[in-house]
Amino acid sequence: MKSNKKWFWLAFVVILICMQIGGALGIYIIGREEGVFDYSLLLSMFQGTLGGLVLVLLIMYFHKKRMPKLPEFDERSMLLMKRYFLGAFYVVFIGSGAIVVTLALLGFQTVEVGMLAVYLSILFIVVGAGALVTARL
């Protein structure tokens, strides 16, 4: 159990560092395009990230205090998740293939990257929502 806790906190720290680096990189890119580097945005970015961290830690603390120590997943839940992700994989794989074949038959030579981003965003949202519903059953 100690090892899992170590990995959990290590992942938490890595995610926090990646958010900080991503925010700083975004501020740098904005400054590079405008020619003005507004470093006061860094303070807001750090405050927002740390505020989110504190909020998540408080939610975890109160959730842990309120709920008994029951396992979140058992064998049935894992089997349901496995079946869901296998089904979702085939639906996404076959559906994406059907879309590509249909577009090719309609004579499209190129696909805009923005439309691919929209398609993938919708796909992630639908699969993620399905995973949340499957995990709660």
Whole-model pTM: value is 0.49
Out of 66, 87, 122, a domain closes at 66
User: Which H or E run contains 50?
Assistant: helix 40-66
Q: Are residues 89 and 117 in the same domain?
A: yes
Q: Are residues 94 and 132 in the same domain?
A: yes
Q: Tokens at residue 39, please?
A: 């470093």
Q: Which residue range forms the structural domain that includes residue 82? A: 75-136
The pLDDT profile of the chain, 137 residues, written as one tens digit per residue, is 567 888 888 888 888 898 889 888 888 888 887 777 777 888 888 888 888 888 988 988 887 777 767 666 678 888 888 999 999 999 999 999 999 999 999 998 888 888 989 999 999 999 989 888 887 76
Q: Are residues 44 and 15 in the same domain?
A: yes
Residues in Cβ contact with 82 at an 8 Å cutoff, skipping those fewer than 6 apart: none
